[in-house]
Amino acid sequence: MRFSTFGQKFTAQTGIMQLMADLGDALSSDRPVIMLGGGNPAKIPQVQQVLRQRMYDILLDEDRFDSIIGDYAPPAGNLPFREAIAQLLRQEFGWDLGPENIALTNGSQTAFFYLFNLFGGPTPEGGFRRILLPLTPEYIGYADAGVVPDLFVAARPSIEYLDDVLYKYHVDFRHLQVGEDIGAICVSRPTNPTGNVLTDEEMAHLAQIAREQDIPLIIDGAYGTPFPNIIFTQAQPLWDEHIVLLLSLSKLGMPGARTGIVIANETVISAIASMNAIASLAPGNIGAGLALEMARSGELIQIGREVVGPYYRAKAQKALTWFAESMRDTPYRIHKPEGAFFLWVWFPQLPITSAELYQRLKDRGVVVVPGHYFFPGLQEDWRHRYECIRVSYAQDDALVRRGIEIIAQEVRQAYG
């Protein structure tokens, strides 16, 4: 059988496919694997208890159970949940929105596929519009989401050195170019893979550019505010008619429910609903059903602030300590962890590539993600991209510590 151009593109080897295959292999492997590569959240006992209780409540309510399992949602997703989210955001932030400003998708990855191809690619007038990533490295899952090639253009960051080990990326507005060929701007906050949280000033500047260019600013809030709020610094959420904010239930502890939440103006929401209908008839009901009462009560935000965020903040500090103990005099730097649950580790002048390091670690039963996958759209050949790895610290502490020790051993050997 011969695939179309579309088929060949989406069956090629990609970074996101490798990441998810590694995750699946680790979960089903007979041999011990220290999985420090995937984005699977930790199973936090307090959160698991809440989710099990919500599921139990649904099972006891025959009408609710029958509706969640037995009925299609509308193309924009479960209406009571959308109403509850709108009410929650109005109360919390004063945003002028209703359920018509919210759509659900089968995971936020699906939403990004919709949005990138909605605003990027060939235009009816014969032009071609791209998605601007103003800060790179960026999320591995964006790279191959375009139906057409060369959909992304990215800008190198400026680097602020904070101490002997920590550093921070910033948007380099002096060199940021937003031409007429840009169809949308996209950032993740916190940034995946680095844990960087763009400052409120950086976000306001990007929002201003989007309004001036009359294009959307797409904000990936999968780890961010208002929920799950895995943020360790001050960060004010923002939304207006030019902002498309994507949230998710995954990092609260429900990745299997595949529930993405799109908050945007009515034109964008109508487009998302249409694409849902074509691609999948309707988004699933399970995540919305589980989280409905949590949205109505405000627990979605509360559990992030009081449980999820502090849990990962403590794990980040432990992971930093373990790297310091294990690396000793071996050169390394780590991006300041301001959110999410990854450390972005940089080995300056590493004699081998991050891809080679990934394979050596995998041979020893430790799975990370090599850094070169996180630079979609960057045209220049920047050595930095081959010197970094993403390390998740969401797993059991003993496994994370042992994995870091093995990383240090392999890096020390690579430097000779």
CATH number for the region 5-47+304-415 comes to 3.90.1150.10
Q: Are 333 and 371 in contact (CB under 8 A)?
A: no
Q: Tens digits of per-residue pLDDT, 138-195?
A: 999 998 899 999 999 999 999 999 988 999 999 999 999 999 999 999 999 999 999 9
- Classify 10 as helix, strand or coil: helix
Q: Are 112 and 142 in contact (CB under 8 A)?
A: yes
Q: Are 185 and 178 in contact (CB under 8 A)?
A: yes
Q: Tens digits of per-residue pLDDT, 358-403?
A: 999 999 999 999 999 999 999 988 999 999 999 999 999 999 999 9
Predicted confidence at residue 414, as pLDDT, reads 95
Q: Are 116 and 282 in contact (CB under 8 A)?
A: no
Q: Give the global pTM.
A: 0.94
As to burial, measured by CB atoms within 10 angstroms (0-12 exposed, 13-18 middle, 19+ buried), residue 55 is: middle
Every domain of the chain and the residues it spans: 5-47+304-415, 71-302
Mean pLDDT throughout 23-35? 68
Q: Tens digits of per-residue pLDDT, 217-259?
A: 999 999 999 999 999 999 999 999 999 999 999 999 999 999 9
The pLDDT of residue 9 is above 90:
no
For residues 388 and 196, what is the distance between their CA atoms, to the nearest angstrom? 15
For residues 179 and 370, what is the distance between their CA atoms, to the nearest angstrom? 31
For residues 316 and 187, what is the distance between their CA atoms, to the nearest angstrom? 22
Confidence grade of residue 329 (pLDDT, cut at 50, 70, 90): very high
Mean pLDDT estimate for the chain: 94
The pLDDT of residue 19 is above 60:
no
Confidence grade of residue 23 (pLDDT, cut at 50, 70, 90): low
Confidence grade of residue 18 (pLDDT, cut at 50, 70, 90): low
Strand 366-367, strand 333-335: pairing: unpaired
The pLDDT of residue 338 is above 80:
yes
For residues 402 and 396, what is the distance between their CA atoms, to the nearest angstrom? 10
Predicted confidence at residue 159, as pLDDT, reads 97
Topology (CATH level 3) of domain 71-302: Aspartate Aminotransferase; domain 2 (3.40.640)
Cα distances from 354 to residues 2, 350, 351, 365, 368, in angstroms, run 34, 8, 10, 16, 10
